[in-house]
A and B are shown apart, each in its own frame.
Chain A
Amino acid sequence: MPIIVNVDVMLAKRKMSSGELAEKVGITQANLSILKTGKAKAVRFSTLSALCKALNCQPGDLLEYQPGDEDENDEQ
């Protein structure tokens, strides 16, 4: 997936734990882990909005595009 979600970076900057963030955003730790490990296929705007609010950042701080990282599924 060429879109990287830099949750770990923002967590470190805000000195927040994953559990704390998951609770604030209203998602499970499992789902947050899916986001962090790049396995997510899509992110809802409502989730992105909640993440930005919890981490006090902009969507651009969380999302990064790396064209070289093509997922094998994208080729289908």
Chain B
Amino acid sequence: MKTNNLKWMKATGIVVIIVCCFWIGLGSIMDGLNATVINGGYMKWNPERMTWQIYIIAGYVLTSVAFATVISTLIYKVLSGLKKKVLFTTGNAKLIFLSGFVYMFMVNFRENFDFAVNGAMEKTFPLPDMAVPALVFTIFGYLYTIAIDIKKENDLTI
């Protein structure tokens, strides 16, 4: 691999990790805290939907942190694997599948976050926003799995 491509890849990977950790992960925690706790919170609690509101806020924070963690771990493992020249591992493939799964739930909670904060009676189920990226992650996961099989075959080619 050309040195320039490797450097750009590492730089992009580090940017993704930073964005995931701070924007998605910490950002969701701050959104949750601002809405509920900090300075009394700005949430409008609706007695009829309180359980749902708590479910959405907690779900949004937990799935965002989970997604940030999974993606950061995946990028870190890929970049450190590049150094050791071990790229196609079963662990990485599982992380790709997990990313898609967690992303699906994160999008649902994120799209309902504003409704929950405003105590609104509406809710949304953003199926295309949930399904399409999750399916793309799944396709990449399967491609990765095929690459692992090809690598195993190549390792046993003397």
Q: How far is the CA of A39 from the CA of B158 in the complex (A)?
A: 10
Q: In the complex, which range does the number of interface residues on chain A fall in?
A: 10 to 19
Q: How many residue-residue contacts, CB under 8 A, span A and B?
A: 22
Whether a CB of chain A sits under 8 angstroms from the CB of B156 is yes
Q: In the complex, which range does the number of interface residues on chain B fall in?
A: under 10
Mask of B117-158 contacts with A, CB within 8 angstroms, 1/0: 000000000000000000000000000000000000100111
**Which B residues lie within 8 Å of A41 (CB)?**
153, 156-157
Q: How far is the CA of A34 from the CA of B156 in the complex (A)?
A: 7
Q: How far is the CA of A32 from the CA of B157 in the complex (A)?
A: 11
Kindly report which residue of chain B lies nearest to residue A5, judged by CB atoms: B158
**Which B residues lie within 8 Å of A31 (CB)?**
158
Instruction: Show the binding face of B for A, using Cβ within 8 Å.
Output: 153, 156-158
Instruction: Show the binding face of A for B, using Cβ within 8 Å.
Output: 27, 31-32, 34-35, 39-44, 47
